[in-house]
Amino acid sequence: MLTKKNALVIGGSRGIGAAIVNRLTREGADVLFTWSGSRNQAEELSRRTGARAVRTDAANRAALLATVREAGPIDLFIFNAGICISGNPLTLDPDDIDRMIDINIRAAYHASVEVARLMPDGGRIILIGSTNANRVPFTGLAAYSMTKSALQSMVRGLARDFGERRITVNVVQPGPTDTDMNPANGPLSDLMHSVMAIKEHGTADDVAAYVSFLVSAEGRGITGSMQTIDGGFSA
């Protein structure tokens, strides 16, 4: 279904990003993805799917924008890279918080704008946010949730900026999803499940399937929106 589409996934080596790379290649897209720390996973994913991989630290704006430019015209852009720094705000290292802001917000904004320069009409921009943009029921998540809330107004605004070119811009907001960042058997799982309607982690493949619909031709009317897939975490 996505044959002849060029896709770029920022942060595709593991977890949700890797599931998106897998899904888009399976649907026929020509996929390039970036990675930063996980060389083995990136190389294995590349071998398995045929997607091309390039090392780029999303926190390095110049390097990130160079990678986006070198990718040429991109039809489907997914910004998935993200880190979660959580804990007592009084004791968290401010440098760690700033690095999270660099990756989760600044990189998402600058890469989305850069990719839009060459994006053909009817292209797709998807940012991976979090249900924590809507609801923060636990301590220690203020800064992380703030970074994901920023994506909400980002997509509202960029959807207006690029709407004339029929480019859609949306944020997909997963709830607890079984990855290295948030393993289903982790120590906080019971707490997370206690605020969910469906008391289990989702899978990265569920999120990738949702992304695949949004980038399809049928997704053309969905823009400037928050698409939440969280087992009722924010209900």
Note the residues at the interface with ligand NDP (CB under 6 A): 11-17, 34-38, 57-59, 80-84, 103, 128, 130, 174, 176-177, 179-182
Answer yes or no: 144 catalytic: yes
SS (H, E, C) 153-202: HHHHHHHHHHHHHCCEEEEEEECCECCCCCCCCCCCHHHHHHCCCCCCCE
By beta-carbon proximity to ligand NDP, the closer residue of 30 and 102 is: 102
- Alpha carbons 189 and 11: distance in angstroms, whole number: 24
Identify whether the C-beta of residue 1 lies closer than 8 Å to the C-beta of residue 72: no
Report CA torsion sign: 55, 101, 183, 28: negative
143-146 contacts at long range (C-beta below 8 A, 24 or more positions apart): 143/85, 143/86, 143/89, 143/92, 143/97, 143/100, 143/101, 144/84, 144/85, 144/86, 144/100, 144/104
Cβ 125 vs Cβ 171: under 8 Å = no
Secondary element (H or E) of residue 230: none
Half-sphere exposure (Cβ direction) of 180: Cα atoms closer than 13 Å? 10
State the Cα–Cα distance between residues 107 and 62, nearest whole angstrom. Answer: 10
Rounded Cα–Cα distance for residues 94 and 195 (Å): 29
Smallest separation, CB 217 to ligand NDP (Å): 25
Give the nearest distance from C-beta 84 to ligand NDP in angstroms: 6
Catalytic residue from among 33, 35, 144, 162? 144
- State in angstroms the smallest separation of the CB of 87 from ligand NDP: 16
Beta pairing partners, 34 = 54
Is the Cβ of residue 38 or residue 234 nearer to ligand NDP in the bound state? 38
Based on CB atoms, which residue is closest to ligand NDP, 121 or 200? Answer: 200
3-state secondary structure (DSSP) of residue 40 = helix
Q: Which is nearer to ligand NDP, 61 or 166 (CB)?
A: 61
Question: What's the min distance (Å) between Cβ of 96 and ligand NDP?
Answer: 12
Which is nearer to ligand NDP, 29 or 172 (by Cβ)? 172
For the bound state, the minimum distance from the C-beta of residue 174 to ligand NDP, rounded and expressed in Å, comes to 4
Active site members: 144
